[in-house]
Structure 1
């Protein structure tokens, strides 16, 4: 069996598991990333498939400053790094972190005193630092993209402070080809400051070291500089979903924006919305590299990833079975089920909504399962604001495993689940990301879930004793004796909302045991 066949036969479960979502034995996990520009601590709620950050802080130590000239990490950056790691260790201990890993990349790898720094950290903070090779950097950054998207296919570029790593993401594996180039933010910043043609110098390095055989239709952009680029582009273009992860634009648009950035003065760059003061200095370097890499590899689209080396490291620590859990479904149930009144009800909803429309792909099924997991997130809100508040939460929750159009689909469906109207003005941006069939499917799914809650009172035993039968011109709700409110106005009203979304005019409620008709409505 070849590799492609093996990937297709791997079991990728999409089932909800309330016990796993609500387990109490999860303990925080932390990782310290010692980069060429900054040192960062991220503490996650767990070491798992969809870890949620509990704490995220960085110290701008700029270990790579002057490294090319001296071959050494400067004394100031050296000392600040040790102090930052000591502080991060104290925070992690106070948070009860069960495991704290630490990795170091290009600057520590290249510096003559890099290993001395690692020794100092071990002595003063009690932390073992793993110095990653260029190959490991490329691999873990690509695993981060694999962990954060649904079966990605493309080339991953991770631009850090000291280097640029490029490798292939091929569904669930990292491709054989990879490169690590000395084109991180700090060295490119130096190139831009030198006299001469910076563009030609960078192009020459890419031509010599970056094989065009790595080119794919999609380029996944990883790293703080490129995340800032995405934020600035989103704000400049009034993007409807204000989330970097999964932001997708045409490569031509990315290059156009990059060139416009490179024409700005330092003062204007610092004033750009989305660009922090810390990032302003190296922002032109990020723009320049994105422009030149896209020119060299010529992809059709750029997708920005909030996940990279750290998340790839986490993904690599998981058991094989856990790696194949769906990241969106896992994240949705970790957020939705513990907050629900009856966590088991979401599982019943998954089965109850399965026959609404034919799902052609697992990608469509996973969206429905995630929506069922999130279907009770607004129950504590006032009824007047549930639809809008739930929509806005879902639109901006830190989910992974989805792009912006899929995020919009989830948010619109949850809005419909809370009886929200699709002509609400605040929906216009999200609806613009969906095709007419996708809008219709989101509304149908939301209205069906609304009906399911009203019919059963959020009780699984009542819901499983009912079913929806959908025909080309008829919608029939069959209920068992456990559902003793089928003729209520509230149920009929919500059934009518579902029928309207499905453009069905004939509605009927019947009793399963007797076949007796309890309600008929014909348009």
Structure 2
């Protein structure tokens, strides 16, 4: 595999901008995804870098069922798809969706009556459907991963109802190589019920068509509903600290072992597993078998599960270059955090105020600090007794993108500390397991520093700007300019003591300067 070129010189802003976060001029955007197993409508709050779903519904039309035998979409699947799209069009119109796109994949592409279905949808629902090629499916799935992670590099596998696509994510680019296999849930399900050895057939296809550049890459990004359900079941049975599929990372050997476990279970037992819905239980053996064989052949070190795929890749491709290079985590955090803050200009002031808190801050650590500042007033409406716990739980489960589970844990622990939460609270145990001692310390220091900032300034940028914080080897000093008129109050001193304890220094003091800072 090659590497993307020129990315180091591209400006990737990490600023907070209340005007950008408070944009209300962007209309809702919707996309209808006509897959081989299901038809889904997702309506996003806007067409932007960190879109939040406002509505998400699917209809299991199973267009690909029987397609290999007849070459046709069944009468029932045809009818149900047209009806589903008509309903989705009505919902989108009622929600005020300004733009509604529709795409179709493997089943419609292969079926002899696929174009008839597209024409029926145009007539009945007034929607033009774009039938994607295998190359486009692979590209948009990879773009979905690129849009949902921070500069990802690895092989993207998108297993849908009708096909499996592989492509490479190379930071901000999709690699030139791609491949599409007829290894979706429905054809593999049929293959497993036939007389031939399904495992051998899958292995032969992978060996015949997979580009050699895809082999032995460290990370495999797993996309698609079947593999998301696989991840949910694995998280539930292994008591994962963060109950979110996106960014869930496990060794490839562990994923293969769990796949083999699922393949040994009867369907009734699979349906009883936590995390697996009854509708998904039927296709779980196919999803498990394909994942096992793909991981065996590609031989990655780790599997990272992605909640974003073709739909989000399509959305990402509609953005201009400037917006694509905005950080998805920072953008999502400020879209949520700044409009709901008591003073939307205060989180950006916090970014500047905490700039020198850590002398060894890496770019990855900076983006977490900026994100935390954006979310720092998230819990102000909660009762003081529950702010720390509720803020922690929100961050652990909120549909942010652009981060993995340890980064979620860092933000959750830091936000808990920002609300004066105790680090020995039992409900923190899971998140703390994901962090090293150094990361725990950094999260606590950052959270306690924000606690001091809010108490010192009352959430006003002008007061905060007239103060500065310094952490020495044995002393923590808060310097305040005269015009800020902040005395050495007990409330500020108590919170400064919490910060000193987190930083591991013995003494803390507040100094009022003769002049402004």
- Alpha-carbon distance, 1:73 to partner: 0.5
Residue 95 (structure 2) aligns with: 95
Once the two structures are superposed, what CA deviation does each residue of 1:206-260 show, in whole Å capped at 9, x if it has no partner? 1111134213100000000000000000000000100000000000000000000
Given that 1:212 and 1:296 are in contact with CA atoms closer than 8 Å, whether structure 2 keeps it comes out as no
Given that 1:455 and 1:486 are in contact with CA atoms closer than 8 Å, whether structure 2 keeps it comes out as no
**CA distance in structure 2 between the aligned counterparts of 1:302 and 1:128, rounded to whole angstroms:** 36
Given that 1:485 and 1:491 are in contact with CA atoms closer than 8 Å, whether structure 2 keeps it comes out as no
List aligned pairs for 1:365-384, cutoff 5 A: 365-384=366-385
Q: Identify unmatched segments of 5+ residues in structure 1.
A: 517-523
Residue 72 (structure 1) aligns with: 72
Given that 2:482 and 2:515 are in contact with CA atoms closer than 8 Å, whether structure 1 keeps it comes out as no
- Alpha-carbon distance, 1:3 to partner: 6.7
Q: Identify unmatched segments of 5+ residues in structure 2.
A: none
Residue 163 (structure 2) aligns with: 163
SS of match in other structure, 1:443? helix
SS of match in other structure, 2:484? coil
TM-score normalised to the size of structure 2?
Answer: 0.98
Residue 471 (structure 2) aligns with: 470
List aligned pairs for 1:124-523, cutoff 5 A: 124-215=124-215, 216-514=217-515
- Alpha-carbon distance, 1:4 to partner: 4.6
SS of match in other structure, 2:296? helix
**CA distance in structure 2 between the aligned counterparts of 1:52 and 1:58, rounded to whole angstroms:** 17
Given that 2:456 and 2:492 are in contact with CA atoms closer than 8 Å, whether structure 1 keeps it comes out as yes
Given that 1:140 and 1:309 are in contact with CA atoms closer than 8 Å, whether structure 2 keeps it comes out as yes
Runs of 4+ deviating beyond 6 Å: none
Q: Which moved more, 1:356-365 or 1:85-94?
A: 356-365
Given that 2:145 and 2:306 are in contact with CA atoms closer than 8 Å, whether structure 1 keeps it comes out as yes
Given that 2:395 and 2:411 are in contact with CA atoms closer than 8 Å, whether structure 1 keeps it comes out as yes
**CA distance in structure 2 between the aligned counterparts of 1:512 and 1:34, rounded to whole angstroms:** 65
**CA distance in structure 1 between the aligned counterparts of 2:477 and 2:4, rounded to whole angstroms:** 43
Residue 113 (structure 2) aligns with: 113
**CA distance in structure 1 between the aligned counterparts of 2:362 and 2:104, rounded to whole angstroms:** 40
TM-score normalised to the size of structure 1?
Answer: 0.97
Q: Which moved more, 1:441-450 or 1:194-203?
A: 194-203
How big is the alpha-carbon RMSD for the aligned residues of Structure 1 and Structure 2? 1.3
SS of match in other structure, 2:483? coil
Given that 1:121 and 1:127 are in contact with CA atoms closer than 8 Å, whether structure 2 keeps it comes out as yes
Residue 519 (structure 1) aligns with: none
Once the two structures are superposed, what CA deviation does each residue of 1:65-95 show, in whole Å capped at 9, x if it has no partner? 1110111111100010000000000000000
SS of match in other structure, 1:428? helix
Once the two structures are superposed, what CA deviation does each residue of 1:437-494 show, in whole Å capped at 9, x if it has no partner? 0000000000000000000000000001101122222211111123323310000011
Once the two structures are superposed, what CA deviation does each residue of 1:327-381 show, in whole Å capped at 9, x if it has no partner? 0000000111111100100000001011111244221111000000000011111
Residue 520 (structure 1) aligns with: none
Distance verdict in 2 for CA 1:383–1:514, change over 3 Å: same
**CA distance in structure 2 between the aligned counterparts of 1:127 and 1:324, rounded to whole angstroms:** 31
The size of the alignment, in residue pairs, is 515
Once the two structures are superposed, what CA deviation does each residue of 1:110-167 show, in whole Å capped at 9, x if it has no partner? 0111011101100110000000000000000000000000000100000000000000
SS of match in other structure, 2:446? helix
**CA distance in structure 2 between the aligned counterparts of 1:492 and 1:385, rounded to whole angstroms:** 23
SS of match in other structure, 1:373? helix
